Structure formats: C-alpha cells, structure tokens
Structure 1
C-alpha cells in the first residue's frame, strides 16, 4: 500500500488539531491523554522499541505502513510525565 500524505498549510494543521481536540478532549485538560486516545479511541497499537530514536537519527516515533501500529522510542515513552 502506497501512502502519499497531502500537503497541509500551517493553518490547515492548526484547524485539524483543534477539531481533533474538540472531539476527543473538549475541555482541553492538560495533559492530553494521547496514548489512551490512540489506543482506545483510534484503535492504534503502540509498540515501544528500545533505541528507536538513535536508530532513526532522532525520530522518536513513526507509523507502520499498515496505519495501525505506532513505533515509539521506549525510553521516550517511559519518561513521559504522567
């Protein structure tokens, strides 16, 4: 499956982010429970991978081509303030 991301302007990204937050976190309470939203509401599987950031030259996370799994650097994931 070939995926080509559409170009979005900064304003488009801001609008889509606001729509996302309005739907999933209408009260905008911080911290945003993004892991819970990704796993429970959007049905993504989050996969912690040791040293991913080092292996991918600074990238902390990426989505697999199946568009259902997200690889996250294990150290980054474990050190997110709760």
Structure 2
C-alpha cells in the first residue's frame, strides 16, 4: 500500500495493520522529509494519546494529517510504531 498527498508518495509498505478502517503503516516506511512533528494531541479511550505530524509536500502543509500512538493501551498494542493518515492523504 501507499500513502500519497499532492501527488507525492509519503509512505509505502506491504506490512499494514488495519484498525477502525484506517491503514497503519510502519514508521520506517515513511519518507521522513515529508513529516514535521506537531504539538497537537488527542485522546482515545481505548487506544490512548495520539500524537500528530504535519505532512509537507513542495512547501504545502497538511496540518495534523498523520497520527500515531507512541504508547498505545494494551487493546491497541498492534499499532505501536505505526502511523495512519487522513485529511486528504490518499491511501491505497
């Protein structure tokens, strides 16, 4: 699978974990030049605290378009070290 935004592939892997309709990519599959850490945080009752990345392609910024759980709760342990996307990022 690949994740892309603005016509640029930002992650690619065959090792995908699907949870709640989202494809979680291994962290090492990201093209890191397109990711900038964000201070944004949200909390999920059963997964834990989500941290975010801004996706940056050719100077355009898609704020908080990638998220991950650095310390997921035990029910979501399989997504530790993985990143998912939204906000117009194409995954397929």
Bigger strand share: 2
Bigger helix share: 1
Bigger Cα Rg = 1
**TM-score normalised to the size of structure 2?**
0.28
> Comparing both chains, which one has the higher relative contact order based on Cα–Cα distances under 8 Å and sequence gaps of 6 or more?
2
**TM-score normalised to the size of structure 1?**
0.29
